Structure 1
Amino acid sequence: MDGGAAAISKPIVLITNDDGIDAPGLRFLVDLLVATNRYRVLVCAPASDQSAVSHSITWRHALSAKRVEIEGATAFAVTGTPADCASLGISGKIFDGVVPDLVISGINIGCNCGYHVIYSGTVAGAREAFLYGVPALAMSLNWMRDKSTVNDLKLAAEVCLPIVNAVLSELKNKTYPQGSFLNIDVPTDVAHHKGFKITKQGKYMIRIGWEQTNVNAPSMESYQTANIDVDMTPISENNASVPEESHLLFKRVLSKGHIEEDEAEDTDHKALQEGYITITPLGVLSHMEADAMPYFKDWVLHLASSL
């Protein structure tokens, strides 16, 4: 087999994220996958930080895709959301007909557990691929300000590599289940993790409130606002814009005193806090609490009788 044929036979992995194409988590993951020489690596990621945009998509206008040089990979920066990037990346339109075998979204700065899965652009990137039948993983590091370092993102990529290898091996053998995508969270102390643990999505949530402000600056943490010192040039933010006198500015703030957490042993955030790398299979359908259906069946009967 010649070198060209060997390259074509390699599994194809598409990387996206929500922190933006310059984020160190994405770059470390790409570098690691390229270094294995086992995979063909594609990148289709947001041109700027798209953290916490959930599963929003761009509908009313065209997206711009700009070629970006990342050694060993074919990469594009896209003026869209993580879901846009995943969708475009698997469409066959941007990579000359090539459709990836696996999509990986991350590695995100900050965990994506419990109810925060709903807000996560990282999870949305994986979910979008799954919606269109492409296996997908979302990866996040439980980043802690003043404790985590940029090297932890590199370690997170390394400890997640066995998951990537195992999934692609099972895909090749046609033994990988098609009914879910995987949400992976790596503990803060990556170097001393306790191993992998299959978990279910819990109810963990840090409540978010509002605060009036005079400055139009980012209020949520991303790689640009975390205490990371890397040789990259993030998208500039206008931190000094002042609204017109008749306008009010409000920013979101984390209400750390209002944390809801599911104490069940097999939930994602609890296991993450115990030091495990959590692997949570997720679907797309929204399921109600088990006791809600009988109530609403009875409720609609009374509703019909009142007409």
Structure 2
Amino acid sequence: MHVLIIGAAGMVGRKLTERLAKDGAVGAKPITKLTLLDVIEPSVPPAFKGESVARAADLADPATAPAIVATRPDIIFHLAAIVSGEAEADFDKGYRINLDGTRFLFEAIRQEGMNEPYLPRLVFTSSIAVFGAPFGDTIGDEFLSAPLTCYGTQKAIGELLLNDYSRRGFMDGIGIRLPTICIRPGKPNKAASGFFSNILREPLIGQEAVLPVDDSMRHWHASPRSCVGFLLHAATLDTSRLEGRRNLSLPGLSATVAEQIEALRRIAGDKAVALIRREHDPAIQKMVGGWARDFTPTRALALGFKADSSFDEIIKVHIEDELGGSLP
């Protein structure tokens, strides 16, 4: 089996690559070739023993997608995107990467199958940002997609394209609306939601973090470990069970900032909590406040997707996976 990961140098892409290298298979099918693509050259984990290709290329370049699709990967993970805050700040860049790049990829798959049958499984990472206020207490599977940001709009268009290209038999696609991934390892990025990770990640290693929103802000989260699990499950799911509705809101954990902080206190104590500095940012408060806070993902749960059970668990996953199993 040939697996292609687009966006392989990002946090989720790296973790997915490491998991695939460790397992050596997707489901019961061995991986014989692994192709990694990003705007900076990704790294192939030493644990992977099959054929591998890692290259730097921009999916928004019209020549990129046809070249990589010509190698006919069996599974394509499309993770590449400009994050929410950056997509809002740079209108042209957001649409070029998040929309044009996605369309180029889907169209390359269609063209590849014109002369000889080709039907890859394509897993597209969408976002809960496809939904917009006003919200009820929870968002069900029938809630209207009406995004309030450029990023959400770009992801919503991607979902519609995925559904249509799959309906026409050009690919076997599934779109998964990821919760905000928390705790993200590494350094802060330009995502408007980045502070959800920052206020936990930095205090856990004795560093100050800025909290730009009210403690009452509620949001929908999943750990990086759960995210990788979502991707692998989507890659092996019998898509006939989707009944033509190819995009899913995934399970997660709804929590307020205050609940996050109390979980941090239970795990790391008052000293860690004291490192959170409140510095209100009205723009971030408004943007994140326009996102969905809680979900009832009935379809995804019935299809076997699973997420974290508590914020204590999310913090412990971060300590295990990123800090060697213990606090500094």
Q: What is the TM-score when the length of structure 2 is the normalising length?
A: 0.37
Rg larger in structure: 1
Bigger proportion of residues as strand: 1
Higher helix share: 2
